Amino acid sequence: MKRAAFRLQPVLELRRTEERAAAAAAAAAAGAAADAARRATEYETTLSQAVLPPSLPAGSFVAAMVLLRTAATDAADARALAIASAEQADAVREQWTAAAQRTKALERLAERHRLALQQAADKAEERAIDDLVTGRAARTGTDDGEATWTA
């Protein structure tokens, strides 16, 4: 008996490939977000540990303040980048989730197809057994040891 192929098998394989690609993209985005958060934390830590000496000449004081202001701007930019990276990672993770849901739906269809084929094979086997039993009863004139009724 020829097995009926699951016609959506190529689509299922495509969905699985898409899901793997989305998973890899989600992992990369999560890694980038974690790196951006780490860099932002390092900037903030460095900035918080900066201490000006108690007495500085006016020119040095102005230069130090400009440097601290620049460092604060860099830290704020790094934090904004970390937040944007985390949001991007969330968006990529949602795409991965959607891809996984599409794959799961096709896998359920494939499972239903497999079950339908199994049920059809079971019914065909039952019919074949019934035909064998019915054929034997017709040849012997009995049905499981009972006398055949004739009018």
pLDDT digits (tens, 9 = 90+) for 47-95: 888 888 888 898 988 888 898 999 999 999 999 999 999 999 999 999 9
Output the DSSP codes for 97-135.
HHHHHHHHHHHHHHHHHHHHHHHHHHHHHHHHHHHHHHH
Mean pLDDT, rounded, of the chain: 88
How confident is the model over 138-142, as a mean pLDDT?
A: 66
Please state the domain count of the chain: 1
Quick one: how far is CA 48 from the chain centroid? 40
Q: Does pLDDT of 151 surpass 60?
A: no
- Kindly report the pTM of this predicted structure: 0.67
Decide if 50 is inside a domain. yes
Q: Is the pLDDT at 145 greater than 60, yes or no?
A: no
Q: What is the mean pLDDT of residues 118-134?
A: 91
Q: 55 by DSSP, 3-state: which?
A: coil
| Residue 131 belongs to some domain of the structure | no
Whether 15 is covered by a domain: the verdict is yes
Residue 133 lies in a domain: no
- 1 within a domain of the structure (yes/no): no
Whole-angstrom Cα distance, residue 30 to residue 37?
10
Q: List Cβ neighbours of 24 (8 Å cut-off, separation of 6 or more).
A: none
**pLDDT tens for residues 93-108?**
999 999 999 999 999 9
The range of the structural domain enclosing residue 56 comes to 9-101
Q: Give the model's confidence band at 44: pLDDT under 50 very low, under 70 low, under 90 confident, else very high.
A: very high
Q: Is 39 part of a structural domain of the chain?
A: yes
pLDDT for position 112: 94
Q: Is residue 140 part of a domain?
A: no
pLDDT of residue 30: 95
Whether the pLDDT of residue 20 is over 90: the answer is yes
Reply yes or no on whether the pLDDT at 140 is more than 90.
no
- 42, part of any domain: yes
pLDDT at 3: 65
